[in-house]
């Protein structure tokens, strides 16, 4: 799949998240458990989401993943157990859209990395994935749409 990288300036965004550690083979199951926890917390407090769910990956290696999952919200929220307030950073980001199953997201990340090397820009923090269309909307993984946002200098 050919990927087009776009540079955007974005505003910081309030979020409600749960952060956890797992392994690459358990990302899907871990994400499912954590996003259900965030959803339940927001619903019981009547806090609406302000966009689709996301996953942010602070560390990703062959044996370890440090991740946070959640939803954007309109303003800062109080904590509720493991669900805490956070913020996705504003600033300059490289954005690439992947259409297809999550198992093929690696190509989109490689496209961003190649673009960054070509344009001589560096990472300004961990990336995050915004799940615009996914299993909550359709079981057809060929049309799932994921935006990857990589903060850059």
All structural domains of the chain with their residue ranges: 6-151
pLDDT in tens, 66-78: 999 999 999 989 9
Residue 1 clears pLDDT 90, i.e. is over it: no
The tens digit of pLDDT for each residue in 17-64 reads: 999 999 999 999 999 999 999 999 999 999 999 999 999 999 999 999
Q: Give domain 6-151's CATH number out of 3.90.550.10, 3.20.20.60, 3.20.80.10, 3.40.50.720.
A: 3.20.80.10
State the DSSP string of the chain: -----EEEEE--EEEEEEEEEE-GGGHHHHHHHHHHHHHHHHHHTT--BSS--EEEEEEE-SS-EEEEEEEEBSS----BTTBEEEEEPPEEEEEEEEES-GGGTHHHHHHHHHHHHHTT--B-S--EEEEEE-TTT-S-GGG-EEEEEEEB-
């Amino acid at each position: 799949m050919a990927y087009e990288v776009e540079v955007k300036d974005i505003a910081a965004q309030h979020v409600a998240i749960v952060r956890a550690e797992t392994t690459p083979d358990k990302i899907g199951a871990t994400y499912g458990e954590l996003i259900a926890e965030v959803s339940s917390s927001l619903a019981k407090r009547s806090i609406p989401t302000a966009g689709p769910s996301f996953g942010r990956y602070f560390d990703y290696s062959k044996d370890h993943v440090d991740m946070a999952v959640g939803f954007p919200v309109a303003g800062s929220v109080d904590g509720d157990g493991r669900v805490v307030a956070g913020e996705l950073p504003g600033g300059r980001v490289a954005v690439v859209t992947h259409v297809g199953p999550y198992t093929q997201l690696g190509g989109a990340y490689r496209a961003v990395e190649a673009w960054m090397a070509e344009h001589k820009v560096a990472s300004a923090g961990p990336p995050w994935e915004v799940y615009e269309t996914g299993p909550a909307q359709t079981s057809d993984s060929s049309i799932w749409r994921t935006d990857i946002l990589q903060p850059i200098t």
